[in-house]
Structures are given as structure tokens and as C-alpha cells.
Structure 1
Amino acid sequence: MKLTFDGDWRATVTGAPLRSTPRFDFPGQRVRIAEYADMEEWQRFLVETFGSQEWLWDAPDELRFDQAGRELVGAGFRLPYESAPAEDSARVPATPPVRPGGLRADEARDFRLEVTTELCRAPGDTVLTCLRELDVLDEPLDARIGIAPDVALLVQHGTVVGWSLTDPARYLTTGFAAADPAPPAPATRLLFTECLDLITTPLLDAVRRRDPAALTSFRALDHKLRNQREDRHRTDALLAIIGNLVEDYADRPAERKP
């Protein structure tokens, strides 16, 4: 199967997906799939590979390929800022099933992979599906290419139209740190959904307006996160966003207009 990116850039699906465990950097709202462990290694990785990457003020998603064999060696995806309506999330098709596979670039040159704009959440946030646009749901998908554990590219008419992350709570972390290899606690899964509810809906705008009910919801969630004793690595990743929002909006008095 041939896949098209950025209009005319193409890659061939192979039988060798990435083995790297995904890292869901919750404060950064992005998923990384690569072996680099810090900023310095990431920058070296970008120099030694080609494909789609950040450049100055441009921040597309990443697919990186090695220079020698043109094989996919890493990826990075940003989550959209807002969740799609529940009725649209319910339209995400269950078929076709994920087919594990890697990618080999047809030629060694850079391209641009647009970030997705629509976040579709399965019940219980067992799967996050990020789409280029909701019109994708009007037609069936051609394929789901599992480029790494629990990460798949969504293909329609030979073009990549989105990606998905299964069991996102399992991969919660911060920055470049590896995710905890132990399964997430049931309480963490519930807190993960609460956090997504608050940061991907209009409630976040209400917090920024310092709406009292919205601020109460954030303070309550902040309290739960700080007092959960188990699964602290994942819980701290969730707290990194919620705690900052509470500090910025709930714990500071509103500025008076002159």
C-alpha cells in the first residue's frame, strides 16, 4: 500500500512497525514514539533523519525516516485543543482492524504533516482518535496502519487523514520521560477522563473567565490529583496541567480593569 502526505510525498507500507513504547506527554499534549530521552537527543535525532518536523514557528506533526534505508524511525503527534461533539465521536468506525506495519519513504526529502483538528474520544477514553477534519467520518476508512504499539495511522483514499492512540492512560508521562511500564490504576483512568473533560471543552474558557462554578471544578480535581497515593508518575503528569491552571486562575485574584 502506498500512502500520500503533503500532496505528493509518498511512502510504502512495510511489515516492520516501530518497537518504541509511546510516550503521551500530557502537559505538552503530544504523543512521542522514538528512542530519544531528552531535548539534546531529540535535536540530534532531527539532524540525523528526514521527514516532517517543527521549524521556527511552524509546528506540524512529525514522521522521521533514517537516511540510509528511508525507514520510519520515529513519530510525534499533537492532540487537537477541543473534543469533537459526542455524536461525531460515536461515528468513528470500528473497521478496518489495525494492521501492524512501518513505512519506507519513496525518496529522501522533507515534507509537512499537518496537525489534526478534531479529537474524537471513545467511551471511557479507551481510544483517542485525531482526525484532519470531521468530513473524514462521512466515508469508510481504507486502512489502519499500526506504526507502533497502540498507535495507528488512519488511511482514506490512500491519504493519511488522522491517527489514534489506544489505551492512552497507560502511556501518560511528562516531557521526554518514559511511561510507567505497570498498568495504570483504575482511579488514574477516571482522573484522566476528568482532566480531558476539563481541558478540551468550553469549561476551560469558563475557568479563564474565572467563572466560580468552573473554578470549583478545577479545585476539586486538583485536590483529587494531589491526594491520590498510587500511580504517582501518571498522576503527576495530569497534575502538571491542572495544577498550573489552578495556580493561574483559581488561586490568583482577577485583575481589575482600570
Structure 2
Amino acid sequence: MKLSLDGNWCATVTEEPLSLVPRFEGRTVRVVPYTDVTERERFFLNTFGSQECLWDMPDVLRFTPAGRHLVGAEFRVPEESASAEDCARVPLRPPVRPGGLRADEARDFRQEMTSVHCRAPGDVVLTCLRDLDVLDGPLDARIGIAQDLALLVQHGSVVGWSLSDPARYLTASYADPDPNPPTAAVRRLFTECLDLITQPLILDVEDGEPAALERLRAADQALRGQQEDRHRADALRTFISQLVEDHIDLPANGTDSSTAATD
């Protein structure tokens, strides 16, 4: 199968998916071989494809000059979340076909990141799409480029990606996820954190709504006190860390503490 990516750049599907385990780090899903900053720099120097550049943040797909095979990828989860009605329209077929990619030519390109994410009930699958128009028709294929990570293909073009059981792959930067399955508590907190960083709840947090701020406080406290599955709990705190820093010191009524003290 021939796939088209952004900029009239093409690749052919192979029979060899990546053997690497995905890492869900913050708002980014990475399936890469490097384990520190130095190795990351070397990785980009020795490969070609789509990559970040200064303030430009496309999705990353990297290929080896020799053989032109896919050796790593990074996908950012977009901030916009689809409605429950649209999420229910995400196609579940065709089934995932494991496979890698081989670039048709050795040159750089730019792969625009997706614009909206869809959550399955219980957050068992996270699907990120180019746009919601993708849901108006069936998919041609779902190419599993790594364990539980698939590219979504429509009309011969890559129109998104999906990660099954995303809570399993929560981890800190450069670390492989815990091989044990996540606890039920961490799964619940994963859903709560996703709620907190997406609309409409994030708008209530930013507006200082008391109920939303209380949910933020409760999630932060629960993650701090989580004894089991500590590695994933620490990783989850990065999802809400900026919100906590910006809003957690506000009193429950959402007013500024310094102002309240002078009233």
C-alpha cells in the first residue's frame, strides 16, 4: 500500500512495524530509540523526515538514509477535543494491520499535527484526527506501526493516528513505561486528568470556577498520594502541572488570595 503524507510526500507500507514500545509523555506519544537528550540529537542528525524546528511543532516521522525505513515517530495530542457525538462516530474498522513504512525518497518533509482528539468510553482508545471531516467516510486502513499505535488512512492519505490503552504507556521523559498494567486508580485519574486539560472543563478551571478548581485540587492530591503505580502517577502529574501552578493556590471561591486578605 502506498501512503501520502503532507507535501506530496509518499511512503510504502512494509511488513515490519517498529519493535519499540510507545511512551506517553505529557501530551506527546513517542515511539523512539533514544533515552536522553544527547541520543535524541544524534538520532535526528542521522535520520531524515519530519521534525520540529524552532517554534514549528509538526508531528515527527524519522527514516534511515540507508534503506529509508521508519525508525521513530512522535505525535502530539491536540488540545481540541471532539464532542461525545463525534467521538461515537470514530470508525473501528478496518482492523489494525501491523506494518512499517519505507520512504519513497530520502528528503525531509513536514507532517502537520492533528487538530482534534476523540476519546473512547473509559479512554480505552485515544484517536487524533486531521479534522472532523474524516468521520464522514470510512477508513481505508489502520497501519499498526508499533504496539497499540496505528496510523489512520483515508483515500490513500494519513489522516490521523490512534493509541489503544493509552494509560498503559504513561511515563516520564526518556523512560520506558512500567511493564505491569496500570492500576484501576491510575486509570480513573488518567480520565480525570484528560477531562481537566480539555474543553469544556479546562475553560471552567481557567475562569476560576469553584467546582472545577476543587476537581483540580482533588486530582493533584490523589496523584501525590498514590502509592501504587507510582511511576504512572508521577507521569500523570505532568498533564495538569501547569494548571496546578497557575490555579491551585487560589481559594475555593476563585478569588485572588491577596485581594481576599485585604477585604
Shorter-normalised TM range: over 0.9
Tell me, what secondary structure is at the counterpart of 1:169?
Answer: helix
Q: Give the match for residue 13 of structure 1.
A: 13
**Map 1:59-208 → 2, pairs under 5 A:** 59-208=57-206
Shift of 1:214: 1.3
Shift of 1:213: 1.7
* Contact 2:23–2:171 under 8 Å retained in 1: yes
Q: Give the match for residue 22 of structure 1.
A: 22
Q: Distance in 1 between matches of 2:216 and 2:241?
A: 9
Q: Distance in 1 between matches of 2:239 and 2:11?
A: 36
**Structure 1 residue ranges, 4+ long, deviating more than 3 angstroms after superposition:** 252-256
Is residue 2:233 matched to residue 1:235? yes
Range with bigger deviation, 209-218 or 92-101: 209-218
Q: Distance in 1 between matches of 2:7 and 2:242?
A: 39
Tell me, what secondary structure is at the counterpart of 1:77?
Answer: strand
Q: Distance in 1 between matches of 2:239 and 2:10?
A: 37
Q: Output one character per residue of 1:223-245: Cα deviation in whole Å (capped at 9) or x when no partner.
A: 21112210000001112333442
Shift of 1:55: 0.8
Q: Give the match for residue 43 of structure 2.
A: 45
Q: Distance in 1 between matches of 2:244 and 2:7?
A: 43
Structure 1, unaligned stretches of length 5 or more? none
Tell me, what secondary structure is at the counterpart of 2:237?
Answer: helix
Q: Output one character per residue of 1:85-120: Cα deviation in whole Å (capped at 9) or x when no partner.
A: 000000001100000000000000001111001100
TM-score normalised by L of structure 2: 0.93
Q: Distance in 1 between matches of 2:7 and 2:219?
A: 43
Q: What is the number of equivalent residue pairs in this alignment?
A: 254
Is residue 2:224 matched to residue 1:226? yes
* Contact 2:7–2:109 under 8 Å retained in 1: no
Q: Which amino acid aligns with 1:139?
A: G
Q: Which amino acid aligns with 1:60?
A: P
Shift of 1:209: 2.2
Shift of 1:205: 2.2
Q: Distance in 2 between matches of 1:58 and 1:240?
A: 22
Tell me, what secondary structure is at the counterpart of 1:173?
Answer: coil
Q: Distance in 1 between matches of 2:5 and 2:215?
A: 41
Q: Output one character per residue of 1:135-184: Cα deviation in whole Å (capped at 9) or x when no partner.
A: 00000000000000000000001000000000000000122221111111
Matched residues, percent identical?
Answer: 65
Q: Distance in 2 between matches of 1:19 and 1:172?
A: 18
Tell me, what secondary structure is at the counterpart of 1:188?
Answer: helix
Tell me, what secondary structure is at the counterpart of 1:32?
Answer: strand
* Contact 1:210–1:250 under 8 Å retained in 2: no
Range with bigger deviation, 198-207 or 40-49: 198-207
Q: Which amino acid aligns with 2:118?
A: C
TM-score normalised by L of structure 1: 0.95
Q: Give the match for residue 58 of structure 1.
A: 56
